[in-house]
Each structure stands twice: as C-alpha cells, then as structure tokens.
Amino acid sequence: MSSIPTSAEAMGAAHEAPALLALHALSVHFAGVPVVDAVSLAVRAGECLGVVGESGAGKSLTFLAALGLAPSAAAVSGRARFGATELIGCTERALDALRGRHIGLVFQDPMGALTPHLRIGAQLTEPILRHTGCSRRAARARALELLEQVRLAAPARCLQQYPHELSGGMRQRVLLAIALSCDPQLLILDEPTTALDVTIQAQILALLAHIKRERRLGLVLVTHDFAALAGLADRVAVMRAGRVIETGSAAQVFHAPRERYTRELLQAAREPAVPGGAPAARGAGAPVLAVEDLTVRYRQRGARRRRGEIVALQAVTVAIAPGESLAVVGESGCGKSTLTRAALRLVGAAHGRIAWLGREVGAWPERRLRALRRDLQLIFQDPLSSLDPRLSVERLVGEPLEIHHGELDAQARATRVAAMLERVGLDPALATRRPHELSGGQCQRVGIARAMILAPRLLVCDEPLSALDVRAQRQIGALLEALRREQGMSVLWVSHDLGAVRRGCERVLVLYQGAMAELAPSEALFSRPLHPYTRALLAAVPVADPDVQPGRLAQVRLTDGEPPPAGGCAFRTRCPQATARCTEQRPPWIEAGAGRWVACHHFERGADGMLRG
C-alpha cells in the first residue's frame, strides 16, 4: 500500500497492517531552535506505542504538532499521515473533522484539562453531538455509558458535576471518556498517570490495558516513566533532546536496550527514588518530633449549607528519633500533609500533644516557637510556587540566615550560601537567576538548600519528588539521603508512593483516611505487609518489566467503592478480606510484633486469606 510511509518499514514492522498514524521527519522549531528534530514514528491499529523520555525531550510537542495543536510560535515541518490524510499543512476545519472523531487525545495535567465553568455532562456530550449528529438524548445516554466504561463510581451524578468537584483520578477518567466518546481509531495519551496517586495510576493503567484489548484501537502512550509503559506498550520509542534515539519491541527495549541513555532511564525506573544505605548514626536523646493522639478536624462548608466536620487526622501517635528517617505514606487526601503541618504547628485546629526536641510545644504561642523553628525545616511538593519569584537564588538561600543568624555579616553569609549551593549540586552560575528561569529539579534543589542552610535537626519533605521526572527524582532522593547521613539529621518523608521510599527510610507509617493503618520498620513492611491497604499500595507500584507488569495490572481493581458510612473499618469497601466484624467494629491499634503496629482485625491472614503461623 502506497500510504505506508517508509518510516514504518524502517522500524521493522512485524505485522503488515498499515500504519494508522505515521510521522516522517517531523520537526518543530521555536525561533529557529529545533526542539523536535526529524522524528519518524508509526503506530498501527491494535498496537500500543510507548514514547518515553525525560522532561523537555519533545515528546508532547511531537504529537501536538502532528495534530495542529502546537503553540502558534512553533514552526512545524515534515510529514504526519493519518490513514490517507496528510496532517501537516492541512486546514483547521479538516483537522477538526479528525480530532475528537477518529483521534482521541488526553493531555498531561488532568486538573486543568477540563473547562471549569461547564458541567461534565456538557463537555462529554459536546464531541458526540458535533461529530455524530445524534440527538441530545442519545448523546446523554452515550455519555452515561462511557462513564460506566471508564468505571466512574457514580456516573449519573458525575454528569451534573463541575470539574472542581472531582478528584484528579475522576477527572482523568472523564478525559478518557471524552477521548473515547466517538469511537476513535487512535488514542494518544500524554502522561495520563503522572499527576496521580500510585493506586489511581494503577487503576488507570489497568483500565487502558482493558480498553486496548476490547477496542483494538491504536494507542500512543507518552511518559517519562518506563514503569508506566511496561504492562501496555508493544513497541517503545525513546526520545532525547528532540530526537528518537532508540526504537524496538517492548521486550527488546526493556531487556536489551542498545543505548546507554535508555539503560539509565530503565535503571531509574527500577530503583526506588530514595536510595538505601547504612542508617545514619543514631543520636541519643529525646525524639526530635513526637505527636500523641494528634487529631485535626476541618469545618466543611458544603454547597447547600451542608455543614459538617471532616476528620482530617485521627489520633495519630508517632515519634522520630534523632537521625531517624520516617516515611508517611498514603493516597491523596489521606492526611499526610495535614500531619506534617499540624506537627509543625502550622495549622491551628489540632488536638493532642506535640513535642519538639523533647519540649512540649502544643500550647506555646508562635513567638516562642520561632527560635525552635530553625531546627525543623520543611520542603514542599511544588518547588516553583514555594519560592518567591522576585528573589534571586542567592537571596532565597541566604534569607533564612538573615532571619535566624543576624550576627553574620554579608561576607560570611555569601560564603555559606556559595558552599550550600555547591553542596546541593547547583552551578554557581545559577546564583543570580530567579526561580522561573530554573527547571523543576533545580528549583527543588534551591528549596533544599534554603532548608539545609540552617543545619536543621529535622527535615520534613512533603512529596518533594512528585513534580519531577524520574531521573531528577533519583538525583534529589540521593541528595537528601546523603545530606541526612552527613549531618545526622532526622527526615520525615511524605509520599504517596511506597515504592519510592522502599529502601531509603527506616520506618514507614501508612495512613488511610486520616487514621494510622500500619507502622513498621521498612524491611518488615516490604517483606511482610500486614494491613490489606499496605498490600494494595505495594501492588500498585508499577514494575518496569513487561513480563511481570501485565500480570500485576490484571490484579488491579478498576474502580474503588464509595467510602463506607462511619463506624467499623474505613477500608472495608475496598478490602478483599473484609468480614462482618469489619463492619461492626473499628479495628484497634495493636502491636503485632517487634516495633510493628497495625489496625486490622484480620492482620494475621495473608493476602490469600489463609492464617499465617
């Protein structure tokens, strides 16, 4: 067939099916600088092409440009064929007849991808009405059916809701439903799981595997994480700095990568983000941070004056010894950040006891806390927005010294700042830049330098890696771990990803809906998790191995039940081991071995439900 582009042959197509989408020498320039450089790729019906590469590699831009969605400043050249249609240089009207109809797209950033003022129902029926010309009623019925297919828990209610009323995972399902609404032949997904919790990520990936099987459509999956591709991609293309540097079947790229860069990416996806190592010298003395029975309630203001209280944190008791690293893990909304903020006395409405460095500070006024604060530092999830955009890197890092060490003169401060910048691996040339001129990883290093310059006793890291790509994650994880060991400080590490903290932390606290589910030394937790929720979190961690990952995805439940009414175990609607007792009684927090605590009636049973010795 003449419509098969040569690039498809060049890729050594195993099956002879014609390419659905074939890019040939596609380039994108911004002001003469190439950011996508002669990319040739092809995807066939029923096949999943994984495109992987670091942030800024040009992955997103490649497909945006092919579909006429690149920013207006971009100069696009080369060819992109969809079936018999040449997409580059084709009119907007002709593209509109394909986009949403034959080609479905889902972009990075589920939080911002839905129009805020339109109900989900309106946004979902829109492409159906436009492309199929069916009646409003039929479109609505179809919308409902689609939401069921993407396993949304309450589809009818969802149609009436606005985007801001949905969680990230729900929005991603809606976007998927919109992309699937007109039965496209090709589905392009750009980082469909990056902003999501591991558990939700696993569900979306499993759902994609299901859709791919059922519908036999062509699938392009763009991601920075090899692990996300493992269960899905049939073929993989690796991009770096605007070029495709390696392509091949999934088995080939995963098991026998040719390029060194590919091996690095694979290794990054296989190792936990926070490296392990000898535990830091354990200092003696009182815990640097201890909370007892810490409870936080937020007043809730519903749409129709449905006033109520949310218990964001429920009776949490935990202590961090000097030099220890503790991970707090759980999915979004489980109270991780509330715990850190309440423990650092940054939210007012906390009940329970809080001790810093052995001193009971729960009732202290802020004025008195100030002097202690420099020993307890915090770094944030979103590096860019946590830094003042008007200040230079130098000023940002030096600012805590100005506040807490007034005795230092400008010269001494500058020396310390320079040393700190070097320590966190920031080029001294960056010192005069402002935050928006830095990459995400560099911003996060500035945040770390700012926290570390006071040599704190405790560093609280609230999801410091989730805004970064895999390689930057590894680098920052390693940096924090090295700093911890050098300085003998304690680290409280907050993450939604159990896999990320696998080796790096000595103990792990698992939170579920504000309450403690399990607390254990990390060795024990990973080798023999006791709480069913911990097991679910572990099962959700994607594995960068195409032989193992499909089996893991097949185990994932595609959706969660609605949260149960109060009383009993909060996890029971999601728990495979739930019994009648779980509905009647709240499981107590009990000691289940040396240093191990768990809140589950049936913790002695394994995942198989059998009683263990």
Ligand X SMILES: Nc1ncnc2c1ncn2[C@@H]1O[C@H](COP(=O)(O)OP(=O)(O)OP(=O)(O)O)[C@@H](O)[C@H]1O
Please report, as ranges, the residues that interact with other proteins according to CB under 8 A.
64, 67, 69, 71, 92-93, 95-101, 105, 107-109, 112-118, 126-127, 130-131, 162, 164-165, 175, 178, 301, 303
Question: Looking at 332-340, 439-447, 554-562, 572-580, which segment touches ligand SF4 (CB under 6 A)?
Answer: 572-580
Nearest to 104 by CA among 177, 31, 209: 177
Q: Which residues contact 212 (CB under 8 A, 6 or more apart)?
A: 46, 48, 219, 232
Binding of ligand X at residue 575 (CB under 6 A)?
Answer: no
Sheet holding 597-598, edge to edge: 376-379, 458-462, 490-495, 325-329, 507-512, 515-521, 597-598, 590-591
Binding of ligand X at residue 71 (CB under 6 A)?
Answer: yes
Contact pick of 77, 85, 108, 439 for ligand X (by CB under 6 A):
108
- What residues from 211 to 270 belong to the interface with ligand SF4 (CB under 6 A)? none
Contact pick of 575, 589, 596, 597 for ligand SF4 (by CB under 6 A):
575
346 and 376 Cβ atoms separated by less than 8 Å? no
Contact pick of 16, 32, 73, 117 for ligand X (by CB under 6 A):
73
Closest CB 494 distance from ligand SF4, rounded Å: 22
Residue type for 613, please?
A: G
Binding of ligand X at residue 56 (CB under 6 A)?
Answer: yes
With respect to other proteins, which residue has the nearer C-beta, 85 or 108? Answer: 108
Binding of ligand X at residue 23 (CB under 6 A)?
Answer: no
Q: Which residues contact 556 (CB under 8 A, 6 or more apart)?
A: 202, 203, 205, 206, 539, 540
With respect to ligand X, which residue has the nearer C-beta, 57 or 208? Answer: 57
Closest CB 571 distance from ligand SF4, rounded Å: 4
Closest CB 102 distance from other proteins, rounded Å: 9
Query: Residue 297 class from Cβ within 10 Å (0-12 exposed, 13-18 middle, 19+ buried)?
Result: middle
Closest CB 570 distance from ligand SF4, rounded Å: 8
With respect to ligand SF4, which residue has the nearer C-beta, 196 or 582? Answer: 582
Residue type for 435, please?
A: P
With respect to ligand X, which residue has the nearer C-beta, 51 or 511? Answer: 51
Q: Which residues contact 534 (CB under 8 A, 6 or more apart)?
A: 498, 510, 517, 518, 525
- Residues of this chain that interact with Mg ion (CB under 5 A) are 60
Rounded Cα distance, 303 and 335, in Å: 23
Question: Looking at 190-198, 483-491, 556-564, 576-584, which segment touches ligand SF4 (CB under 6 A)?
Answer: 576-584
Report the partner that residue 113 touches, choosing among other proteins, Mg ion, ligand X, none (CB closer than 5 to 8 A by kind). Answer: other proteins
Sheet holding 289-301, edge to edge: 307-320, 289-301, 350-356, 359-360
Rounded Cα distance, 395 and 613, in Å: 59
Rounded Cα distance, 117 and 449, in Å: 40
Closest CB 59 distance from ligand X, rounded Å: 4
- What residues from 151 to 180 belong to the interface with ligand SF4 (CB under 6 A)? none
Report the partner that residue 601 touches, choosing among other proteins, ligand SF4, Mg ion, none (CB closer than 5 to 8 A by kind). Answer: ligand SF4
Q: Which residues contact 2 (CB under 8 A, 6 or more apart)?
A: none
Residue indicated by tokens 């860019």: 384
And the tokens for 196? 């999501």
Question: Looking at 96-104, 330-338, 549-557, 598-606, which segment touches ligand SF4 (CB under 6 A)?
Answer: 598-606
With respect to other proteins, which residue has the nearer C-beta, 98 or 467? Answer: 98
Helix (H, G, I), strand (E, B) or coil at 312: strand
Rounded Cα distance, 167 and 163, in Å: 8
Rounded Cα distance, 81 and 52, in Å: 21
Binding of ligand SF4 at residue 530 (CB under 6 A)?
Answer: no
Nearest to 514 by CA among 302, 319, 337: 337
376-379 vs 359-360, strand pairing mode? unpaired
Binding of ligand SF4 at residue 535 (CB under 6 A)?
Answer: no
76 and 88 Cβ atoms separated by less than 8 Å? yes
Closest CB 96 distance from other proteins, rounded Å: 4
With respect to ligand SF4, which residue has the nearer C-beta, 362 or 564? Answer: 564
With respect to ligand SF4, which residue has the nearer C-beta, 32 or 588? Answer: 588
Nearest to 352 by CA among 296, 287, 288: 296
Closest CB 191 distance from Mg ion, rounded Å: 6
Report the partner that residue 577 touches, choosing among ligand SF4, ligand X, other proteins, none (CB closer than 5 to 8 A by kind). Answer: ligand SF4
Contact pick of 5, 330, 514, 532 for ligand SF4 (by CB under 6 A):
532
Closest CB 569 distance from ligand SF4, rounded Å: 3
Residue indicated by tokens 């540097």: 245
Residue 379 is classified by DSSP as E
Binding of ligand SF4 at residue 572 (CB under 6 A)?
Answer: yes
- What residues from 427 to 486 belong to the interface with ligand X (CB under 6 A)? 469
Which chain residues interact with ligand X by CB under 6 A? 30, 35, 53, 55-61, 71, 73, 108, 224, 469
Which chain residues interact with ligand SF4 by CB under 6 A? 532, 569, 571-572, 575, 577-578, 582, 587, 600-602
